[in-house]
Amino acid sequence: MSIASLSRFTVPLASNQSSSTQGMLMPKLKYRFRVSFENFGVSGGTVELTKQVADCGRPNVKFTDQTIEVYNSKIHYAGKPTWQPLTIKLRDDVSNNVTKLVGEQNQKQFDFFEQSSAASAGDYKFLTRIEMLDGGNGTNTPTILETWELYGCYVDSTNYQTLSYTGAADVMTIDITIQYDNAQQIGPGAGMGIEGFAQKRAGTSTTGGGVPYR
């Protein structure tokens, strides 16, 4: 059948690797996601914040390059990792749900009226959860393909954007940049999380097919 040719839409591999007729894997789609927050602001409910997310980055980590000087060359090794700030764009709604929550979080980090800061970082830090979904909605419960959990978050900067008479088709957004202490990638076979490398090293985790990691 002609449809059988679809299995050849891939990269031919060596004979000792996967079959050259194995089809391409379905990629994750970047518009199927949701972002949720825990301990953000002071009102308690952050559902409206989740519904108003327009776009969101995924975590980036960078290792500090360390150098050892030797006879005729240099040796490089990885130093301490640093998680790069992450920006989330929020649609600013007419009921002020988003701007209220963002304002609460900023005020929790620093009281601008009293010019008083929080006693410790633990008083205002929150958790951010970014989930990649399979597209299920309504009667179908979405399957979570991948989860990033960001720990020790605080709002590093808030950009309320600009107003313009020429932007008739534009909507107002609030961009918040989040700095966090650590992140874990969680999911079947995830590379950087509780179900990923940590259990892979211990040999206790399994893939979706029940095969132990080795």
pLDDT band at 186 (very low <50, low <70, confident <90, very high): confident
User: Would residue 147 count as lying in a domain?
Assistant: no
Segment 107-120 shows an average pLDDT of 91
135 part of a folded domain: no
The pLDDT value given to residue 142? 87
Tell me if 182 sits within 8 A of 197, measured CB to CB. Answer: no
Contact 212, 203 (CB under 8 A): yes
Report the pLDDT averaged over residues 12-37: 77
- What is the overall mean pLDDT for the chain? 84
pLDDT band at 208 (very low <50, low <70, confident <90, very high): very low
How far is the C-alpha of 88 from the C-alpha of 54, rounded, in Å? 8
193 lies in a domain?
no
Section 11-23 average pLDDT:
63
Q: What is the pTM of this model?
A: 0.81
Domain encompassing residue 121: 41-128+153-184
- Average confidence (pLDDT) over 82-109: 95
Nearest CA among 150, 98, 97, 146 for reference residue 126: 150
Q: What values do phi and psi take at 137, rounded to 5?
A: -160, 160
Query: Domain total for the chain?
Result: 1
Confidence check: pLDDT of 25 > 90: no
Rounded-to-integer distance, Cα 190 and Cα 168, Å = 43
Look at the chain and count its residues: 214
Looking at the domain assignment, is residue 158 inside a domain?
Answer: yes
Is 162 within 8 Å of 170 (Cβ atoms)?
no
Share of the chain above pLDDT 70, in %: 81
Q: What pLDDT score was predicted for residue 90?
A: 96
Res 187: pLDDT: 77
The whole-number average pLDDT for the span 160-182 is 91
